Amino acid sequence: MVRRFLVENICLHERSKKRSEFIHERTPPSAQENDLC
């Protein structure tokens, strides 16, 4: 269970990284951090 949770976390992290790069131009850093958490 823990291993699967970590894998899903990594996938979410990669996805949020791409999304944060996409919206970085118009989104303040604080809002980005809240989105990642």
Give pLDDT tens digits along the chain (37 positions): 677 877 788 777 787 777 777 665 665 555 555 555 4
Nearest-angstrom CA–CA distance, 7 and 12: 9
The confidence score (pLDDT) of residue 17 equals 78
Q: Are the C-beta atoms of residues 20 and 36 closer than 8 Å to each other?
A: yes
The confidence score (pLDDT) of residue 37 equals 43
The confidence score (pLDDT) of residue 28 equals 59
- Output b/e per residue, 1-33; b: 16+ Cβ within 10 A: eeeeeeeeeeeeeeeeeeebeeeeeeeeeeeee
18-28 pLDDT, tens digit each: 777 766 566 55
Question: Furthest-apart CA pair in the chain: how many Å?
Answer: 37
